[in-house]
Amino acid sequence: MEKNSVKAYMKYCEDKFTKRIIYKKGEMAAFVINFLPGQALPTHKHPGTETYLYVITGTGTIVNNGTETEVAEADLIHVNSEEEMSFKNSGSKPVSLYVILSKIPNENYAKNI
């Protein structure tokens, strides 16, 4: 068993969003992405993997295949491997997302930013 606190991975940077890897086990990865107000994750896909996101804190906008959806604390989101997604902290407070990738598309997806 391994126990961690999500709070330890909630680190923010004035310049850009941050990503902190919590687990990288076999083909899966779990991490926290952190955004200050106005920061954004560009449009991208996760080829060959299912993506699960949990909004730990804050509010923002997910764009999935061109459709905007507002999300807030405690929301759960599933994005399949064929869907394009982006995220923007559209609120006034920091946002942290807990993310699980069922399979790491390549090693760049499992690195801290």
Give the pLDDT confidence of 48-95 residue by residue, as tens digits: 999 999 999 999 999 999 999 999 999 999 999 999 999 999 999 999
37 pLDDT higher than 90: yes
Task: For residue 13, name the pLDDT band (cuts at 50, 70, 90).
Answer: very high
Beta-bridge mates of residue 15: none
Mean pLDDT, the chain, rounded, equals 95
104 pLDDT higher than 90: no
pTM for the model stands at 0.94
- Rounded Cα distance between 10 and 12, Å, is 7
State the DSSP code for 80.
-
Two structure tokens written together for 58? 């804050």
